Amino acid sequence: MSKVIAQLCISLDGCYAGPRDDEPNWFKSVEAPGFFRITRWVTESMAWRDRLQLEGGEANVNDEVIAESFARPGAYVMGRRMFDGGERPWGEEPPFRNPVFVVTHREREKLERQGGTSFTFVTDGLESAIAQAKAAAGEKEVAIAGGGTMIKHALELGLLDELELHHVPVILGDGQRLLDVNIGAREGIELVPERMIHTPEVTHIRYRVEGRAPLVLDSRGGKYEGLGES
Chain residues in the site for its own copies (CB under 8 A) = 11-14, 18-19, 25, 27-28, 30, 32-34, 36-37, 40, 43, 48-49, 52, 54, 56-57, 155, 165, 167, 169-175, 177-183, 185-186, 188-193, 196, 198, 200, 203, 205, 207, 214-218, 220-224, 227-228, 230
Is-contact 171 15, C-beta < 8 A? Answer: no
Give CA–CA dist 139/70, Å, rounded.
Answer: 15
- Contacts by 80-83 with C-beta closer than 8 Å and gap 24+? 80/104, 80/105, 80/106, 81/147, 81/149, 82/145, 82/146, 82/147, 82/150, 83/119
Give CA–CA dist 208/195, Å, rounded.
Answer: 9
Length of the chain: 230
Residue (115 or 173) nearer to its own copies, CB: 173
Give CA–CA dist 84/190, Å, rounded.
Answer: 32
125 Rama class: left (phi>0) / alpha (psi -120 to 50) / beta? left
Residue (138 or 182) nearer to its own copies, CB: 182
- In 3D space, the residue among 178, 229, 221 whose CA is nearest the CA of residue 20 turns out to be 178
Residue (89 or 138) nearer to its own copies, CB: 89
Residue (71 or 183) nearer to its own copies, CB: 183
Nearest approach in angstroms of CB 62 to its own copies is: 14
Residue (106 or 220) nearer to its own copies, CB: 220
Nearest approach in angstroms of CB 220 to its own copies is: 5
Nearest approach in angstroms of CB 107 to its own copies is: 32
Nearest approach in angstroms of CB 48 to its own copies is: 8
Whether the upstream peptide bond of residue 147 has omega within 30° of 0, thus cis, is yes
Residue (107 or 225) nearer to its own copies, CB: 225
Nearest approach in angstroms of CB 165 to its own copies is: 7
Nearest approach in angstroms of CB 67 to its own copies is: 16
